[in-house]
Amino acid sequence: MSTSQRWFSGRSTVIGIPYGWLLLFFLLPFLILVKISVSEMENVIFKDLITYKEGLLQLQLKLSNYVFITQDALYYKTYLASLQYAAATTVLCLAIGYPFAYFMARAKATVQPMLLLLVMLPFWTSFLLRVYAWKGLLSDHGWVADALIGLGLDQVLLALGAISAPGKLMNTPFSLVLGMTYTYLPFMILPLYGNLAKLDLRLLEAAA
């Protein structure tokens, strides 16, 4: 086996292991959920999607679950709110994460490890502990709420519907989006940093 073949084989193995992990623990459960969503529910287990009867393969898709979402007001509003929160979180993560990732990629080689450590530091603590810490910070009439009132930002959040009353931050769209942005921000920064660090600066000079 030549050197290039050995390198390709080793590289394929290194890349294939995480891809296999994703297929096993993400894609497969996702496909199971999709299968359940288009199946008819029974008392014990969901019906099979494909059955063999009288010499024929029969595909039994039931889309009433998806129709039910659009017909029931509670489910519809909940689903729509989830999409809105997800979109707001994505936009905020991108707006905050891209400049930081670009700064990391263009920082000195001696500074980059420290910046990378700061991004990964939240992973060293329990997710539950971080959530409880945010509950303390965003408590009603706490110092964060008082700071927003002092800056006059509470009226802006109130006009946007992000909070229900001045000084009340918990259990509001504001606290939910803020917590989700904090949680998922590292997952936005790290991939952006990996791609920006490999970007050839000569391409930027040529485009200028």
Asked if 77 and 89 count as a contact pair (C-beta separation under 8 A), the reply is no
**Per-residue pLDDT reduced to its tens digit, 4-62:** 555 556 667 777 887 888 888 888 888 888 887 777 766 556 666 677 677 677 777 77
Q: Are 177 and 85 within 8 A, CB to CB?
A: yes
pLDDT digits (tens, 9 = 90+) for 153-189: 888 888 888 888 888 888 889 999 999 999 999 999 9
Chain mean pLDDT for the chain = 83
Range 72-208: architecture per CATH: Orthogonal Bundle (1.10)
Show me where the domains of the chain are located.
72-208
- Give the least confident one: 47-61, 77-91, 108-122, 165-179: 47-61
Alpha-carbon span 146 to 129, nearest angstrom: 24
Residue 6 confidence (pLDDT): 56
Query: Count of CB atoms within 10 A of residue 135's CB?
Result: 14
3-state secondary structure of 37: helix
The pLDDT value given to residue 142: 80
Residue 36's pLDDT is what? 79
**Residue 126 and residue 183 in contact, taking contact as beta carbons nearer than 8 Å:** no
Confirm whether pTM is higher than 0.85.
no
